[in-house]
Structure 1
Amino acid sequence: MLYQQTREKLKEKLSLFNQFSSPVRESIIYLLMAHNQTGDQNLDELLEDYEQIVVGGFRRSAYTYFASYLLQFSEAKEKGYVIQRAKEIYKTTRINHPILTGEEDAPAAISLAQSSQLASFTAQMVSDIMEKFYIEMHRIGFAKGDELQFAAGTATLLFQGYNNSIIDEMAEIIQQFNQYKLPFKRKLIQVSFI
């Protein structure tokens, strides 16, 4: 019942043509429900934050709605700064990975910008930490790509800086996977049509 009500309220508030696709909308509705944020004021804030993020330089996309959901956890007076810092982090990350960095990275940039543990780091320093994780995680066996970039951003957020011991622990776990013949890498399935 609450899900349907929230869904209908959101549909009423949105224009006919929007980036808020069904799977994304449903995920965000469930997140809002989990945090008791389904009132009109909460939905208005979500959509206002979305517009602020777009004005701040991010593209309109389904991922921008996730970023706006995350922005709700920032104080109102801090949101402009968080968006600006997130855009700086995004831009510096894009320098290292111009093809990989896209609108799907907006939520990670917002999360990194919100982190009080990373507040003393410049955007360039945050990006450099992410890049160090990216390079070192690839060195120990992770495949390059969007998923590794997301993992590097998550590691930066979780560990608030780079520490080689984290990579050493990951390498040890990968070694254990190999020792017990557990698959570590995703296998590509080749399909042939006859």
Structure 2
Amino acid sequence: MSEISFESGKIVSGLLSNYQLVKTSGVMAVDKRIRFLIAQLFTSENIEINAEAFKETVTLFKKQLGFFNTLDGNTRASLAGLLQVNGQNDAETVKRLIDHYELLIESGFKRTNFTYFGAYLLLRADNPRRVAERAKAIYVCLRKQHPFLTGAEDVTSAVLLAQLDTPLSPEKLTEINEYYFTEFNRAGFRRSDSLQFLAATSTLIFMEKDAEHVKKVIALAEELDRASVKVRPIHYATLGILAYVRDSVELDASFFDLIEAMREDAGLRWNREFSTAMALSLYTEDQARNMTKEQVESLMVSIHVLIAIERAAAASAAAAASAATAASSGS
């Protein structure tokens, strides 16, 4: 990881530059939010994306999957970006990811785009089959608690929790998860897939019920609200991670400078909710560079992967909904 100077002008410039490289890479049928997500991945690492390598990684998925598969352009591009920024964009790793997808299907998960994100998380598992089976058991427990809310998107939460090195049963893990879900919901966080992911992230980090963490997340949300920055579900998981990596619940001037810079730039004014999400993510990853050794070791997955998985899932769902609305209007 290259050191990044947290200067709002430099970050906005890097973000827009990487966005243009993604946009002109020749990878088609990708939602604007996903292009910005990929640009954000590289900007947070202070790297300029290699557009040619990005297109080659996307092509690897197409070649290995063939024509008939559930992987849409948004998810394919998101996965290609994740693999590339982590130096994993080779044919062997792409094949492993596809194999892990099939493992999750064999374990009882449905063939959806979200299952591919779960397969990406399995890349770091020592025993992918065991983790996939445990993930299904956890998913079943989550679904019992929230039968109408838990859906295909929650495979990522289940896989994250399944990788924990803990003797806790699926029932106990989902009990802790439900504690966070309930407490955040009581504080005004909306019942949503994003809230489920925030709860799963909190469970992943602490593996116990931590009331102080809940208070810190709520305090951060309240500070944003006082600063006229509206907190939406797409921001939930990032706030949870920020509360963990930052000692203070007060956001410093650099964050608000970045928010202002994004609001002033014509290329980023198209969606305030999403640009706020990017600002929060970039700021959180900057703050994560100050984590203690103990904090780093307790995280099973890197900060930018946690954020990117949740954001990509949310953006993919939004893109699908937009496409469905457009199709309905057209008919």
- Range 33-42 or range 16-25, more displaced: 33-42
* Counterpart-to-counterpart distance in 2, 1:17 and 1:185: 39
Corresponding position of 1:152: 199
Q: Secondary structure at the match of 2:89?
A: coil
Corresponding position of 1:108: 157
Q: 2:85 aligns with which of 34, 40, 54?
A: 34
**TM-score with structure 1 length normalisation?**
0.86
Correspondence 1:97 to 2:146: yes
Corresponding position of 1:192: none
* Counterpart-to-counterpart distance in 2, 1:183 and 1:50: 38
* Counterpart-to-counterpart distance in 1, 2:203 and 2:167: 14
Query: What residue identity is the alignment partner of 2:175?
Result: D
Q: 1:130 aligns with which of 171, 177, 180?
A: 177
Cα shift at 1:177: 4.7
CA contact (8 A) 2:221 2:231 kept: no
Alpha-carbon displacement from aligned partner over 1:68-109 (angstroms, at most 9, x marks no partner): 11101112xx11110111111100010010111111111111
Q: 2:106 aligns with which of 24, 40, 55?
A: 55
Query: What residue identity is the alignment partner of 2:114?
Result: Y
In the TM superposition, what are the counterparts of 1:1-194 in structure 2 within 5 Å? 1-75=52-126, 78-116=127-165, 119-177=166-224, 180=226, 182-186=228-232
RMSD across aligned positions (CA): 1.7
- Range 60-69 or range 9-18, more displaced: 9-18
* Counterpart-to-counterpart distance in 2, 1:181 and 1:3: 37
* Counterpart-to-counterpart distance in 2, 1:47 and 1:5: 16
Q: Secondary structure at the match of 1:72?
A: helix
Query: What residue identity is the alignment partner of 1:6?
Result: T
* Counterpart-to-counterpart distance in 1, 2:218 and 2:54: 43
Cα shift at 1:183: 4.8
Cα shift at 1:5: 1.9
Number of equivalences = 181
Structure 1 residues 177 and 107: alpha-carbon distance in aligned structure 2, compared to 1, 3 A threshold:
closer
Cα shift at 1:175: 4.5
* Counterpart-to-counterpart distance in 1, 2:129 and 2:83: 22
* Counterpart-to-counterpart distance in 1, 2:111 and 2:173: 24
* Counterpart-to-counterpart distance in 2, 1:46 and 1:18: 14
Structure 1 residues 11 and 171: alpha-carbon distance in aligned structure 2, compared to 1, 3 A threshold:
closer
* Counterpart-to-counterpart distance in 2, 1:42 and 1:167: 37
Query: What residue identity is the alignment partner of 2:148?
Result: I
Structure 1 residues 57 and 181: alpha-carbon distance in aligned structure 2, compared to 1, 3 A threshold:
same
Structure 1 residues 47 and 173: alpha-carbon distance in aligned structure 2, compared to 1, 3 A threshold:
closer
Query: What residue identity is the alignment partner of 2:155?
Result: A
